[in-house]
Each structure stands twice: as C-alpha cells, then as structure tokens.
Structure 1
Amino acid sequence: MKVALIGAGPIGIEAAAALKRNEISYIHFEANDIAHTIRKFPDDMIFYSAPEELQIPAHPLHTAHPRVCTRDEYLFYLNGIILKYDLTIQTGERVISINQQKNFFAVQTQKLEKKFTYFVDKIIIATGGMSTPRLIQIPGESLPHVSHFLTSPATYSNKRLTIVGGGNSAVEAAILCYHAGADITLSYRRDKLNDERIKPWLLKEFYSLEWTGKITALFNTTPIKIDQHSIRFRDTTDDKSFSIPTDYVLLMTGYTADMTLCREVGVFLSPENEEPAFNPETMETNVPGIYLAGTVTGGTQSDFKVFINTSHENVERIISSLLASRCNA
C-alpha cells in the first residue's frame, strides 16, 4: 500500500510522522513551503491554544513561557519533528489533479514547469482551511498598500493603518500594530465586537485602547473603495458614505479553504461553506480511499470550530483505518 499525503502544515507533518512510525509507504506533497500559512503570521504572534494542545501526541512542545507558544517556537518545533523522523517533503510541488482508477489513484503534480504522475492506493488531504483570503470585491483591493495578511507590525510604525474586520485576527492586528507605533482605525460592519468570539484578553485590551482614544473604532461601517491615500466607507445605519486618510489597509476579512481537489474527485461538499462529508470514525470521505485531516475538514469556516488542537485525533483514526486496510488486503 502506498499513500499520497497532500499538505505540510502541522497536521500534515503529524500525519507524515505517524505514517513513517507505522511503516506505511507514502509520498508527501506541499505546494508552497512547510507550514506555509503559519509563516505568514507575525514573528511574535502568540497562538490562542496552549502548547500542550498544539503539540503532536507524545512529542512535548517546550516554550519559553508556560501555556504560551509563539509562531517562531512552533515553527522550530515542527522542524524538529521533521528532523527527528527524517521526513521527506516535496515542497513547491502542487497536486493539480487526482484521477480515480479501478484500484488506485493517479495523482498529477506540477513543480515549476514540469508535471509528474504518481500512482497510489490511498490519499490523505491535509491542505488546511486558510488557503486564500476572502476577497471583499471592492475597487482598490489589489493596490500595493493593501494586504490580507499581517506579517510584520513594524511595517506600519508611524503610519496610518486602517484595519477592516471584527474577528480575533483583526483585533489582535490592531493591538500589535498599535504597540508597533501605528495610528490605528478599525472598521467593523456590526455595531460592536462579538464578545463571545473574541478572546477575552484581546477584547479587554482593545476596548481599553479604544476608550482612551488610542485606537479609533468605526462600527457599522463597510469599505466601498480604496484609493492610494484614503479609504471610503458606507455607514450601514444611514447609508451615507465618507472617506478617511490612510497609508495602509489590512483587510482581515477571513479566509477560504481550497476544496478544488475534493470537489474534482467527487467528495460531497455542503453548498454553504463546502464542508466535506466524511466518516468521523475513520476520516474517510464518500470516495473510498480518500481521507481528510486537519482544518480542511471544516471547509471554509465562518465561526471557527476546527483547529489544530481539535485535529490530532484525525491522524490516529486515519492510521487505524489504513492499518486495518493493509491487514485485510
């Protein structure tokens, strides 16, 4: 039995280590670089989950501060897992199609200008749930001073930064960039932040900064146009529009999962958010031989319910199913 593993985020790496431990032959593809989504996060970003929730079972994640893990610490940890198990990951090689044959799958990939075909018995898709930003489709969204990712808060030091969004990422970005010296305006389409969705410590600091006038909050507003030095909003309470000056814009409006491979191979996807159908006991989809692991199981999530720390059991269930399949072969 040979397995194709697609995606080298935390759960993809965990799956690779488990496959190797159990002597299951596999080939591992990653379209970008290892832990690509996490590498986009700010250097000093802190995960909401505690280290013991992020760690691979039986592989402790040691951090400088108890119950706190930074982006860099987690990347160092994942690299340690790769080195420990001598994992081979074919980075920069994107899976472009999966063709189901009678008793196997033909997996076609592309690396630079070259295309390759591999034949495997099983496939594990672990491509994550944050493949691409959720675009808001307004003029100016593609301008060079507009971004959907916060990479380095220092970029915005002594600059006017407008952040659009009202989730954890938007609120955290506002706080981090304020401390980096940016002049912050946050726009959110509702009349207040959702107290149940925002992490309490973020909410407390954000409101403290807003109440003292250190951050400006524009509630009940939606952006309608971005120009080189300004952004235009519509006030949802009276439908009037207005502009404010800005040097940079961060559109923290969420992300979409890339479900292309699942869709093309015939995995059932919900019409609302493309949440895939799978057996929770085995993680096998309605297409026999194709498994899902990690946040891809949630499709495009609006209210996040599937995280790294809720996905460790996915790997255990897939391995159990593969071992049973090998025994029955």
Structure 2
Amino acid sequence: MSIIYDTLIIGGGPIGLACGIEAKKKGLSHIILEKGCLVNSLFNYPVNMTFFSTSEKLEIGGAPFVSNNHRPIRREALEYYRRVQTTWNLNVHLFEEVINVQKNIKNQELFTVTSSKESYQAKTIVVATGFYDIPNLMDIPGEELQKVKHYYDDPHLYAFTDVTVIGGANSAIDAALETYRKGANVTLVIKDAEINDRVKYWVKPDIENRIKEGSIKCYFQSCVTDITPKTVTIKSIENDDKVVIPNDFVLAMTGYQPNFGFLSKIGIQLSDDTLKKPFYNEDTHESNVENLYLAGVVCGGMKTNSWFIENSRVHAEMIYQNIEEKLNNKTKV
C-alpha cells in the first residue's frame, strides 16, 4: 500500500525547505521533490554573487547563518542550506522533476503527483518552484546562437573578448563589472535612461563611474535587434538609429519567469494581464485549487522582484498553520 503524505512540496529551494521544516514541526508527514540539486536556483547563481539581504534575513528553521561578511556570498549560502538540511533531516528527493498534479480519481480529497521517477499520494500540495528556470527571451534573430547566454556564471570565460551585456538591473550590472575586470571589452545595453534604482547601492556608483570614464561603453534607451556570430546590432529606442559592433558573447540578463505552463496545467488560475499573477488567498496562500498552496517568489507572477527569501519565509508558517487546522478538523469529524 502506497504512503499517503500529509503534504507534498514541489521545490527544494530555501522556501521549499522552510515549508518542510514547518510541516515537520507540526508532526505532518512530508516529501519535498526537487528537479535539480538542493537549492538548485542558488547553485545556478553567478559564482561571485553577493546577496542583497544580510545573513540573518536568509535564515530558516532557527539555524543561525554565520557569514564572514555583512552580506553573504553564494558559496556561504549553499553551505548554510546544506547544514539546514542536515539539521532537520527533511525528506527531500533530489533530481526528481514533478510532471503533473491531479486530484485522485477515486478519492477527490487526495492528490496524485506524477514525477520523473515515481507517483505519490498527498493530502495537500505546496508549490514553491521559484522563477529562475525560464528566461525572458528577446525574440530577435540570432538569440539561438551558442554565444548568447541567459545565465551568467564565471567571468573568466569572457576574458579578452568582446562582450555585450543586456539589462540594467543587478545581474546585468554584476556581469558587466566582473567581465570588465577580467579583461573583457564590455558594452552595456539598457532600455531605460539610467541604471535601475534597485541595483545594489554599493555597486551603483561603481558602474556609473566606469561608464563615465569610458571603461564600459553604455547605450541607454536602446535595445539589441540582431545577433550574428561576429556582431550585434544596437538600436536607439528614441530615434531608431542603429550601430553594429564586434561581439564574441552576449549576456542577455533580461530576467526570468515562473513556469506558467506548469501552474496552468495543475489548475491554478492566472491573472489576465501581463503580470500573470497566480490566484491565492493572501491570508492562507491557498490557491483556487482546494488544498493546493503557493509559497515564495512564484506568488508574484511576472513581478519577480516582489518576493525574496527574506520576505517570503513567513509563507511557510501561514500555509502550515492553515493545513494543520484543516487536517485537525477532518480528524475531529
């Protein structure tokens, strides 16, 4: 006879782990399914990334996050969340992607979850899948070329090459500065008239000074319209003027989006506007599908900058308070 879990959590990132911790605190049987490694999105962050949040704001499960700096780096975060998993011994299945979630045909109070490896039964589902897996595409000629990267890792790869970085937010600015300091000839293309105000305050003066002195060439109010193996074409949004420059790599830091196809497939309603915000009760985080909850960044739809680890940790507590009450009421009946 197969196990019926009290709760199944989709996503093994910090918020998915926080949900598992809350479930364990309340004595609920749980399983966490993660399609990649533990905290897979953080693993895929740039190797030199520094978090905007301080370490205490990234803490979950009461485990202290001790960092060598005021703000932790990627390597420290990976070590911290591994220690959280070791401390709580959560039932995490790694490298197991969830394919579908459906109401059980014979018992509508249960969900049947199909993964890339197994099939599971659960009373409640929590989707904590984040948003980092699907890049926002530019839909321009040449975007499919191997030299075009939507994920940035190690700046050494771009040393002594012509690099075009697209975007004006944190990821783009970090990529521009780091590749420049490894010897790349960097051109920055930004659709807005200035550097984004959300850029980390200790980084913003650095990029502005590099642009001012001409170390990094920047085209404001511009976009890339065409990419070839050896060039990129940059067009001014103001007057349609175009310039073609030499290029070896394009780092398209154009942002990412949740897996809306998966959300729709499992029955979650999305708003009709461009935000595609999934429906959920803001007090309980229960979606339009009874006993199916949303946690973390996925709650924001296309507005991926509205939720972070530090302000969505509380989702786990809200969700499992509601789940505990529901399960207790069923038991009493």
- What SS does the corresponding residue of 1:84 show, helix, strand or coil? helix
Code of the residue aligned with 2:294 in structure 1: it is L
Which stretch of structure 1 is more off in the superposition, 32-41 or 204-213? 32-41
CA RMSD of aligned residues (A): 1.5
Q: Quote how far apart the aligned CAs of 1:57 are.
A: 4.9
Distance in 2 separating the partners of 1:260 and 1:61? 35
Q: Assess, with a 3 A threshold, how the Cα gap between structure 1 residues 4 and 57 changes in structure 2: closer, same or farther.
A: closer
1:88 paired residue number = 91
Instruction: State how many pairs are aligned.
Output: 322
Q: Quote how far apart the aligned CAs of 1:162 are.
A: 0.6
Distance in 2 separating the partners of 1:273 and 1:95? 24
Taking the TM superposition and a 5 Å limit, the aligned residue runs for 1:1-329 are 2-65=6-69, 67-101=70-104, 102-111=108-117, 116-194=118-196, 196-271=197-272, 272-301=274-303, 304-329=305-330
Code of the residue aligned with 2:93 in structure 1: it is Q
Q: Quote how far apart the aligned CAs of 1:188 are.
A: 1.0
Distance in 1 separating the partners of 2:209 and 2:215? 9
Distance in 1 separating the partners of 2:192 and 2:109? 52
- Preserved contact between residue 30 and residue 91 of structure 2 (Cα < 8 Å): no
- What SS does the corresponding residue of 1:121 show, helix, strand or coil? strand
Identity of aligned residues (%): 30
Code of the residue aligned with 2:182 in structure 1: it is A
Distance in 2 separating the partners of 1:141 and 1:86? 43
- What SS does the corresponding residue of 2:33 show, helix, strand or coil? strand
Distance in 2 separating the partners of 1:261 and 1:187? 32
Q: Quote how far apart the aligned CAs of 1:197 are.
A: 2.6
Q: Quote how far apart the aligned CAs of 1:166 are.
A: 1.2
Structure 1: gaps spanning 5 or more residues = none
Q: Deviations over 1:52-75 (max 9, x none)?
A: 11111522100011x210000000
- Preserved contact between residue 45 and residue 74 of structure 2 (Cα < 8 Å): yes
- Preserved contact between residue 174 and residue 184 of structure 1 (Cα < 8 Å): yes
Structure 2: gaps spanning 5 or more residues = none
Q: Quote how far apart the aligned CAs of 1:258 are.
A: 0.6
- What SS does the corresponding residue of 1:225 show, helix, strand or coil? strand
Q: Deviations over 1:254-306 (max 9, x none)?
A: 1011133321232221122221111122111121100111111111226x111
Distance in 1 separating the partners of 2:199 and 2:96? 36
Taking structure 1 as the reference length, what is the TM-score of the superposition? 0.94
Q: Quote how far apart the aligned CAs of 1:210 are.
A: 0.9
- Preserved contact between residue 3 and residue 124 of structure 1 (Cα < 8 Å): yes
Q: Which runs of 4+ in 1 moved over 3 A?
A: none
